[in-house]
Amino acid sequence: MKYELQPLPYSYDALEPYIDAQTMEVHHTKHHQNYILKLNEALDAHPELSEVSIETLLKDVSKIPQDIQTAVINSGGGHYNHEIFWNSMSSHPTVLQGNLKDAIAASFGDEESFWKQFSAAAMSQFGSGWAWLVVTPDRRLEIKKTNNQDNPVSHGDTILLGIDVWEHAYYLKYQNRRAEYISAWRSLVNWDFAQRVYETISHP
C-alpha cells in the first residue's frame, strides 16, 4: 500500500485572509507531498510493513526496522503531522463547547488562558517544529511542542490540535512574524475536530 496525498477538506483559498492560498498550495502539494514520497521510498525496503498504519508505526518507533527508522520518523511523521494540521483548521468558525470546554477550563483556566499558553508554546518552539494540544495516557489535557516532525503519538499522547510552526507554514505572508501567524491561526482552529477526537478518548 502506497501512501497518497489526499485532497484538503477545503480549497486552497478557503483560509484567507489568515493563511494565503499560495502558502496552502505549496505547503500541501510540495511539502506534504514530499514527505509522502520519502515515506513510500523508505517503506519500499520493507514490504512486511505495507499494511501497518503510519500511526501504529509512530506509536512505537523502537519497532521500526533500524535502517528506515529515521526516515519513518521524519517523513512518516511529516505525513501524519500534516494530516492533523489540515484537520486542525476549518474554513468556517467553530466553537469550543461541551465537555472539551469544561476540560480546557479545568486544565488551563478559561479559553483565553488556554490560547495564551498555547501561543506561548508555539512561539517558543526554537526552530522548526510544532505545538500541540494533547490528551496524555492518564487522560490529562496538556500543551506540548516537538522538534522537526517528532510527534506526540510517539510519546503516548493523543493529539487534539496541532499547529505547524515551520517557517514554510507562514513565511510567504508573515515572513519572520510568527506571532502574527499564531494569532491569525486562532481564527481557523477547528474545535469540532478536537471535540470528535476527544469523544473517542472520553468514551473509548
Return residues touching Mn ion (CB under 5 A).
Answer: 164, 166
Give the span between the Cα atoms of 133 and 123, in whole angstroms: 14
**Which residue, 28 or 143, is less far from Mn ion as judged by CB?**
28
Query: In the bound complex, what is the minimum distance in angstroms from residue 32's beta carbon to Mn ion?
Result: 7
Nearest-10 crossing angle of helices 33-44, 77-87: 150
Q: Give the residue among 147, 121, 148, 123 at the shortest CA–CA distance from 132.
A: 121
Q: Are 90 and 192 in contact (CB under 8 A)?
A: yes
Q: Are 160 and 199 within 8 A, CB to CB? A: no
Closer to Mn ion at the Cβ: 118 or 166? 166
Closer residue to Mn ion in complex, CB, 72/104: 72
Q: How far is the CB of 77 from Mn ion (least distance, A)?
A: 11
Residue nearest to Mn ion (CB): 164
Which residues, listed in sequence order, are joined to residue 142 by a DSSP beta bridge? Answer: 134
Nearer to Mn ion, 69 or 128 (CB): 128
Rank residues 143 and 165 by Cβ distance to Mn ion and give the closer one. 165
**What is the grid cell recorded at 170?**
507562514
DSSP class of 182: H
Min CB(161)–Mn ion separation in Å? 15
Nearest approach, Cβ of 178 to Mn ion (angstroms)? Answer: 13
> Using N-to-C axis directions, what is the helix angle for 98-108 and 111-124, rounded to 10°?
70
For cell 500500500, name the residue. Answer: 1
**CB 100 → Mn ion: shortest distance, Å?**
25
Going by the DSSP 8-state scheme, the letter that residue 123 receives in this structure is H
